[in-house]
Amino acid sequence: MIRINLLLCLLFSAVVSFAQKETVRGFLITSTGYQDTSRTLYVSKGVNQLSAYTVENNKATEAASYRLSKSSNDFALYCKSDQSSDTLKLAFQDQAHAVIVNSTDRYVLFPAFYKRFKHPSILDILDLLSDGVKEYPINGALLFQAFSPQTGRHIQKATVVTQRSQADLQDTWICKYFYNKTNQLDSVSAADREEVRYYKKIHYKGAAIQSEKTYLNIESRQVNHRTIVFKYPFVIKMHENVLEIGKNRETISNVTITKSTLPLTKLFKLINKYD
């Protein structure tokens, strides 16, 4: 009987080990501009861990990592890069179907999506915060999120607080979300009484996103116009125009971004190990 139990334990351990290996996935994202090309390797382990690596000369160096953990009824997303580390804390208000981020930002969700979001993945959180109304410490993961934008009926409205970069002042932005007749996200705007900080418009071809255009005004110092064209399933073309008003300087860039899935053998060769 002991021998049978031992065999069952070994078999169970093997199955768990295999399942864990199956959750490790690697995606290589290549960004090609006018004069340069950069490569970023994303490695996800289940739905709660994501690492980003800079790839040069067939060698990967970790640039950022994200880990999601649960504490009581709340969640924390730990964000670490080679320059800093930060934590995003998510709390829930069931009666209002609201998600509170770091005690200051409030996202009110539609009830059906709120129920699902109470058990979020890292990708769910990236999608919630990726618009850029506020700069959260998730920049290193945005290329990973860009290939799977969520356009369903998710967010009703939001209130976001930002800190002025050159003054001890805060701004509060009222974010509005608009949906089309098929319940797909049509546009997003963020404004206060005096200024529009952010605007996004999405264009569809059938049920699929064809393009999105965004406008971002940072304290009237920098204005960013961006157009993203989706060439499904693994290509994005991005045009960006950045105007620095105080310096009277304009920067225009055109980048083609491609995504490919890496087999585990090649993935482990690039990063040597994955823990």
Q: What is the band of 94 on the pLDDT scale with cuts at 50, 70, 90? A: very high
**Is the model more confident about 247 or about 15?**
247
Q: Residue 7: is its pLDDT beyond 70?
A: no
Please tell me the predicted confidence (pLDDT) of residue 201: 96
pLDDT in tens, 20-65: 444 788 899 999 998 899 999 999 988 899 999 999 888 888 899 9
Sequence-distant (6+) residues with CB within 8 A of 40 are 28, 29, 31, 52, 53, 54, 55, 63, 143
* Whole-number pLDDT of residue 10: 32
pLDDT at 110: 97
Could you give the CA distance from residue 35 to residue 21 in angstroms, rounded to a whole number? 38
Give the model's pLDDT for residue 272: 64
pLDDT in tens, 111-129: 999 999 999 999 999 999 9
Could you state, in order of their start, the residue ranges of all structural domains in the chain?
A: 2-271
Token pair of 203, please?
Answer: 């264009």
- The more confidently predicted of residues 205 and 271 is 205
Beta strands in 3-84 (DSSP E): 24-32, 37-45, 49-56, 59-71, 74-81
